[in-house]
Structure 1
């Protein structure tokens, strides 16, 4: 897993640095903050290497970089946000599903395994939906702060965009929550094994 994180992180960091330089040369005045944010987001999985054990596996890392491709490369650099009106909402649904998937991995690793307890599937459903909704709210806050300080294109239609994105995020959480509900159905009333 470490090798995968190193390789993907370096590829994405290099790509983001190149796109940052191109944007600077084209006179994009917001490129410092956008480029810096993209480089930091590309390097985040490197932080996992400081932990000896992590609940995240290769599919989680690949999913993260898949979202970066869709958001930064296709969405921002190749202007999918402008070309396809459905792109933003779709990414909010998929992004909240991804956050819920990570939350489920953390829940299984940090709560179920050490506790060795009886667990209700509804607790998992609520936890997964809650984490997806919190993730959507944090992302919308970042968009709002970004529009107030750096750019003005993240929330183009104001409250309509914000509420549409929050509803899409909730929908993604519910979808993965339902998946977790049925996937973990056999665990109800049974003792978890570590």
Structure 2
């Protein structure tokens, strides 16, 4: 797993660094913060290497980079956000599903293993939904701060865009929550 994280982080960070340099050469004055953020986001999984044990598997890391490709490369660099109106909402649903999936991994690692007791599936549903909603709210805060400081295109239509994105995030959380509710019986611990 460590080799996978290192290779993906180096490849993606290098690509983001090259695109960052190209944007600066083309005279994009906002590229310092946008490009720097992209490079930092692509190197974020390297921070996992400092943890001795991590709840995330290779599939989680691959999912993370797939989201980065859809957001940074397809969405921003190849202008999918401008070309396809549904792209933003779809990424909010899928991104929220991803965050909820990470929430399940954390739940398994931090709650089930230490406690070893049976926990209601409805608690699991609420936990997953809460993690997805929190992720959506944090992302909307990032978009707002980005629009106030760097660019003005992240929240294109203001409140309508924000509320649409938050609803899309809740839908993604509900989808994974329902899957966790009915499909993942091993999420429940053992009776004592």
In the alignment, what sits opposite 1:191?
190
In the alignment, what sits opposite 1:176?
176
The answer to whether the 8 Å contact 1:125/1:178 transfers is yes
Deviations 1:141-173 (A, max 9, x none): 000000001000000100000000000000000
The answer to whether the 8 Å contact 2:112/2:187 transfers is no
Aligned residue for 1:27, secondary structure, equals coil
Aligned residue-pair number: 192
Distance 2:43 2:187 in 1: 36
Aligned residue for 1:164, secondary structure, equals helix
Distance 1:108 1:123 in 2: 13
The answer to whether the 8 Å contact 1:103/1:128 transfers is yes
In the alignment, what sits opposite 1:130?
130
1:131–1:187 Cα change, 3 Å: closer
Offset of residue 192 of structure 1 = 6.8
Distance 2:129 2:154 in 1: 24
Alignment of 1:46-61 (within 5 A): 46-61=46-61
Distance 1:44 1:192 in 2: 38
Offset of residue 132 of structure 1 = 0.1
Stretches of structure 2 lacking an aligned partner (at least 5 in a row): none
Deviations 1:105-151 (A, max 9, x none): 00011001110001110000000000000000000000000000100
TM-score (ref. length: structure 1): 0.96
The answer to whether the 8 Å contact 1:113/1:192 transfers is no
In the alignment, what sits opposite 1:81?
81
Distance 1:192 1:75 in 2: 47
1:68–1:148 Cα change, 3 Å: same
Offset of residue 184 of structure 1 = 2.9
User: Is 1:45 aligned with 2:56?
Assistant: no
Aligned residue for 2:117, secondary structure, equals coil
In the alignment, what sits opposite 2:15?
15
The answer to whether the 8 Å contact 1:112/1:192 transfers is no
TM-score (ref. length: structure 2): 0.97
In the alignment, what sits opposite 2:103?
103
Alignment of 1:26-41 (within 5 A): 26-41=26-41
Distance 1:62 1:192 in 2: 34
Offset of residue 85 of structure 1 = 0.2
